[in-house]
Amino acid sequence: MLQVNAINQYYGGSHILRDVSFTAPVGECSVVLGRNGVGKTTLLKCLMGILPIKSGQIFLNDKDISKLSSEQRVREGLAYVPQGRDIFSTLTVEENILIGMAKFSRSKARQVPTHLYDIFPVLDEMKHRRGGDLSGGQQQQLAIARALASEPTVLILDEPTEGIQPSIIKDIGRVLRDLANQGDMAIVLVEQFYEFAEELADNYTVLSRGQVVSQGTGDSMLANNVQELVAI
């Protein structure tokens, strides 16, 4: 389980994250919502150690990882699918996925696990094509597969539906639901597409001006008027 306790972050004199706390249990999809500019991406970067937190604590399976580097957090079990995907356009699909296995021994990181191609069959068909030749939706599937290649216990995704065609959004949603249901992984999902988030959410957190304004179970989102809170 990932546990975030009262973390704070600043940009210059601006207080970006204000005592943000939430938990992401194993076997659940924990959704973080909010309008543009409320600190969602900053929160994820803090979770990954890309940005240091100013105060507060981040625990992974009861271990304080607040001061660990990004690489150390990956070794502890975090994996990150950033907004915009950040795939390596000149490398093949296969090479991109193998990069996600960098924390393992050379012998283990030599071949893409077949289950990743089972999850995203299109990547198997295109494994020798360059990442830059894939469509946006295919690149998003590649970015998720690369993150899963590290065998994470927490999968963190930043707006995976952005710029993606509806058919692939459905595929990604089905994959995330299946991963959560397997019961060995926690999923943290930042999402602007409310319907997608509501469909997947086992629990939710809404940010406004860098602080938590609503939290609850996924099935309480309608009653708690979450869609109105995040409407642009």
**Distance separating alpha carbons of residues 172 and 21, to the nearest angstrom:** 27
Q: Are residues 143 and 171 in the same domain?
A: no
Q: Where does the pLDDT of residue 18 fall: very low under 50, low under 70, confident under 90, or very high at 90 and above?
A: very high
- Give the domain CATH number at 3: 3.40.50.300
Q: Are residues 58 and 172 in the same domain?
A: yes
- pTM, two decimals, is 0.95
- The yes-or-no verdict on residue 232 having pLDDT over 80 is no
In a domain, 177, yes or no: yes
Q: What is the pLDDT of residues 37-48, one digit of tens each?
A: 899 999 999 999
> 170: helix, coil or strand?
helix
Length of the chain: 232
Q: What phi-psi label fits residue 163: left (phi over 0), alpha (psi between -120 and 50 degrees) or beta?
A: left
Q: Are residues 173 and 60 in the same domain?
A: yes
Q: Are residues 89 and 59 in the same domain?
A: no
Q: At which of 97, 122, 151 does a domain end?
A: 151
Q: Are residues 94 and 145 in the same domain?
A: yes
Rounded to the nearest 10 degrees, the angle between the axes of helix 136-148 and helix 166-181 is 10
**Distance separating alpha carbons of residues 97 and 87, to the nearest angstrom:** 9
Q: Are residues 60 and 163 in the same domain?
A: yes
In a domain, 221, yes or no: no
Q: Domain range spanning residue 182? A: 1-36+53-70+154-193
- The yes-or-no verdict on residue 108 having pLDDT over 90 is no
Q: What is the pLDDT of residues 29-80, one digit of tens each?
A: 999 999 988 999 999 999 999 999 999 999 999 999 999 999 999 999 999 9
Q: What is the pLDDT of residues 120-153, one digit of tens each?
A: 999 999 999 999 999 999 999 999 999 999 999 9
Q: Are residues 116 and 167 in the same domain?
A: no
Average pLDDT of the residues in 207-220: 96
In a domain, 188, yes or no: yes
How many domains is the chain built from?
A: 2
Q: Are residues 62 and 172 in the same domain?
A: yes
How many beta carbons lie within 10 A of that of residue 127, not counting itself? 16
**Distance separating alpha carbons of residues 37 and 51, to the nearest angstrom:** 16
Q: Are residues 128 and 174 in the same domain?
A: no
Q: Which residues have a Cβ under 8 Å from the Cβ of 160 and sit 6 or more positions away? A: 81, 140, 143, 144, 172, 189, 191
Q: Are residues 62 and 160 in the same domain?
A: yes
Residue located via tokens 């597969």: 145
Q: Are residues 91 and 144 in the same domain?
A: yes
Q: Are residues 103 and 123 in the same domain?
A: yes
